[in-house]
Chain A
C-alpha cells in the first residue's frame, strides 16, 4: 500500500499560500477603504453604489469557482487525465463557489431593499442565481452520498457539469428576459461600452482581483483539507483491515 516517502521542499507551497493570503487581505482592505471612503457617491444610487464594489466580484468569483469545478470534473471524466486530485479540486472549488453565491444573493438583497423596495423579487437573474445556489448545494450533497470512491467521483463530476449549465443562463438572463436587474455595466455585451469610470472603475477592478485572490486562498485550504480527510479515511480503512486480519489470525 505504501511507497517510499519522497521529500519535497516542505514549506514552499505553504509559504506561497501564506503570501497569497496576505496579498488577498491587503487587496480586500484597500478595496474596502476605497469603496467606503475614497470613491464618490453615484449620481443616481448615492452611497448604495458602494455595495457594488463587493457584489459583482462575489458573482464573478462564484462563476470562476464553478468553472474550475467543471473543468476539474471534465478532467476527471476524461480517461487519460483521470485522477483523484481533480475530484477533490472540483469539490473544493464548488464549496467555495457556494459560499460566494450565497454572498452574491445576500449582498444583492441588501442592495435591492433600498433600491427596489424589496428584499427579494422573482427576477430572472435572481431566480436563476438562487437556482444555481441550490444546484451546487445538491452537488455538495451528492458528493456525500456513500459509494466506492471512483463511482462517487464520477457521478459527482457528472453532477457538476449538469449544474454548470445554469451559469451561462444566469449571466445571459438579463439579456434574454425582461429583468429588473441592470445589464452589465463594466462591459455591456450589447453596446460593448463601459459604464463605470475613474476611481469607481479602479476600485471595482481591485475588488475583482482581491476577491479572486481570496478565492484561490480559500480553495488552497479547502483542497488541503480534502486531501487530509481522504488520507484520514485511508488510514482508518487500513487500521480496520489490520484489525480484521489480526482477528482472523487469532481466531
Chain B
C-alpha cells in the first residue's frame, strides 16, 4: 500500500492504546491506594470515602458521586 499510511495508523492507534492502558493502570493503582470499595465512593474535599479497611480488588469499580455543588468560595 504505502508506508506512510501504515505508519499513520500505527502511530494513532498505538498512542491511543497506550494512553488508554495507562489511564486504566493509574486508575486501578489510585483505587488501591485510596482503598475504595467496589461500588461506593463519595468524593470531594468535604466528603469522605466509605471505610473499607482494605484494598479493592483489581477491576473493581468506583461509582463516583460528587457532592461539591455550590462549594465554591
Contacts and interface: CB of A to CB of B under 8 A. Distances in A.
Nearest to B38: A10
B27 A221 contact: yes
Contacts of B11: 103, 106-107, 110
A162 interface: no
A8 B39 CA distance: 7
Contacts of A227: 41, 43, 62, 64, 66
Interface residues of A, number: 59
B8 A225 contact: no
Interface string B32-73: 011010111111111111100000000001111111111111
Given A9-B63, A11-B63, A227-B43, A103 B48 contact: no
B66 A84 contact: yes
Nearest to A233: B45
Nearest to B6: A36
B46 A1 contact: yes
Contacts of A50: 1-2, 5
A111 B45 CA distance: 46
Contact of B49 (A58, A229, A235): A235
A97 to B, nearest CB: 12
Given A228-B27, A232-B30, A8 B65 contact: yes
Given A83-B71, A218-B19, A229 B30 contact: yes
A185 interface: no
B64 to A, nearest CB: 5
B8 to A, nearest CB: 4
Contact of A47 (B2, B23, B43): B2
Contacts of B16: 99, 103, 214, 218
A168 interface: no
Nearest to A89: B66
Nearest to B33: A232
Given A54-B8, A218-B19, A47 B72 contact: no
Interface of B: 1-2, 4-5, 7-9, 11-13, 15-16, 19-20, 23-24, 26-27, 30-31, 33-34, 36, 38-50, 61-73
Given A6-B42, A107-B8, 14 more contacts: A1-B47, A5-B40, A7-B39, A8-B39, A36-B9, A48-B4, A54-B9, A82-B70, A218-B20, A221-B27, A225-B30, A227-B41, A234-B44, A234-B48
23 contacts: A7-B39, A8-B39, A10-B39, A10-B40, A11-B39, A11-B61, A79-B72, A83-B66, A84-B45, A84-B71, A99-B19, A107-B8, A114-B4, A217-B20, A227-B64, A228-B27, A228-B34, A228-B36, A228-B43, A230-B44, A231-B34, A232-B34, A235-B34
The 9 nearest A-B residue pairs measured at CB: A10-B39, A2-B48, A14-B61, A82-B72, A5-B50, A228-B30, A85-B66, A84-B68, A221-B23
